[in-house]
A and B are shown apart, each in its own frame.
Chain A
């Protein structure tokens, strides 16, 4: 288990999360190795099924990087994403999966440090939780 590197799918809103990824790169911060960055126009574009599909198809955890509340370019996109996330949380609870595997993180365009911290923390947390048991490749 020592070499277990959790796979994280990170949905990044084009208004905040994605520029933050660029910022993290510019600051040359250490990313966890196994992160897939997905660029979406707004956190509101992320469907519940994406979160669950990600867990089904091999991801150990999913992060949503969106704008701060009440700061959404499209007014309520991040709140919709939060709502869908809590819906997904309830589903995970029912099937007995840790809900820590899904998380939303609010940040601004210049929060490269915060983004990497969140990813590292998530990576550490998932390492403790172990590999995703419902992944099909188990």
Chain B
């Protein structure tokens, strides 16, 4: 029988003295209870050190805390960082504050209910098993996929911290899509010069190995032991072993040219960017003729992406200031939610750029070789007021459709990471874990996650560098073995668990001794599913789904769950 030590946490008076005493006298009468201590505030550092002292005296092999929510203790034990002389998984919590005292007014009923919860918790504690920690050595080596501005920035930041980076680029040179821009909206530098400086810096850094004209063919293994196979354009294959992997492959754009959109005076934002770099002040020429009126038509294809808005406002300012053109911007919403954009938008208004807000798609027609745009402006406060406006312009500039790079889908299959609804790579949590993928040790960032502006990509690159350093800086990854575990003797290799694992932590490997499913006459090791403990998050989906019941979750066993259900034996 387990010998259980009990701490009653009064939670600074939340549990009244009389109730505490009744509970104490009840539990002291139970056979498996060794001692029962009352603490005024167990979650304080003093309370915790007193608890540690009592446990050092020994005599017990399980601990039960009667008090508040288990989440409270879990966070405060982490906060105080007090090394308990005790395996934390041998500890159970009976939550009588939230579940009994605060929800039951009558003391007699409350006592009965508390007794039930304590019985449950005692059984859960008896069923618990100690769980040891393990550590996995991590070499400071990282593979970065994609030599765009995000990949370059990550490689530089990591190299500075002493990590060896393999920078993989499918093209022949670094830089990526940023080179399609001519100017930044928030930096004075010229793009080409700025990128070239960065690229030459990368080639000078000894910590960065450049692999151009190459692509990832194959990836095996988990955090700390990723084995990548890389094939160069000339057919050479390299094997790399890295600790972590960053995906920064970027996005592409496309534009369908149909009907009026195939007219030569309708061009896209990136074409306009090129024209602007070639134009010479004081007048803007298009096909040999001066341009007076330019209209931007945005939000036709991508309504929630702000790259178009930013580029259009940046270009319109250039047109108004350097070339004396009149610019009108038609959009559903002006998106200014990046650093410095609000200021730029206000400057554009001051310079005389016209903004129109539309809901119905504007009508386009050609009048005397010029493009006429008829739009119902809904900018007035009253929704029912719509002002019909028609603009006759020399150039109409439209936005492009952002699509994931063509290799994204294949890459997600190789890396076993998820795709979002639009075919871009999916982050683990859009709010909290924006640059982590669903697999530990693989990060997604930049345009392959969501089409974004250069400044945002740079911020994300910094975030990824921090995340990777947080993982690698200690030299090893220490984790509790509170994970799923396959009993290879029972595994029938049905491939249910590798398919269901949300973190791709399960693979089938030949490591097991023979089991009942072994084909007679075959001598080699039998294949069975294997959970990589460093990659497992401990959710228990595979445990519940395994048809052979070959998988157990070490910290939430069947026994513990049945104990919590408090059913008849």
Contact = CB atoms under 8 A, between A and B. Distances in A.
B347 interface: no
A68 B503 CA distance: 19
Interface string B533-553: 000011111011100000001
B567 A37 contact: no
B470 interface: no
A38 B502 contact: no
Interface stretch (B99-107, B194-202, B507-515): B99-107
A91 to B, nearest CB: 16
A41 B568 contact: no
B99 A31 contact: yes
Interface string A31-55: 1010011111110111110100110
Interface of B: 69-71, 95, 97-99, 102-104, 109, 113, 120, 418, 429, 438, 500, 502-503, 537-541, 543-545, 553, 556, 561-562, 564-568
A18 B556 CA distance: 15
21 contacts: A21-B98, A25-B99, A26-B98, A26-B102, A33-B104, A33-B109, A36-B564, A37-B99, A41-B538, A41-B540, A41-B553, A42-B541, A45-B540, A45-B541, A50-B565, A53-B562, A58-B568, A74-B537, A75-B438, A77-B541, A80-B541
Contacts of A25: 69, 97-99, 102-103
A29 interface: yes
A22 B71 contact: yes
B500 A76 contact: yes
A24 B103 contact: yes
Interface of A: 9, 18-19, 21-22, 24-26, 28-31, 33, 36-42, 44-48, 50, 53-54, 57-59, 73-77, 80, 84, 136-137
B426 to A, nearest CB: 9
A73 B71 CA distance: 17
A52 to B, nearest CB: 12
Secondary structure type dominating chain A contacts: mixed
Nearest to B103: A31
Contact of A44 (B71, B102, B544): B544
Contacts of A46: 544
A40 B565 CA distance: 11
B553 A45 contact: yes
Contacts of B71: 18-19, 22
Nearest to A75: B502
Contact of A36 (B418, B539, B544, B566): B566
A31 B104 contact: yes
Contacts of B539: 41-42, 44-45, 73-74, 77
Contact of B568 (A47, A57, A73): A57
Given A18-B71, A22-B98, A30-B103, A45 B544 contact: yes
Given A76-B541, A77-B539, A38 B561 contact: yes
A122 to B, nearest CB: 16
Contacts of B561: 38, 40, 45, 50
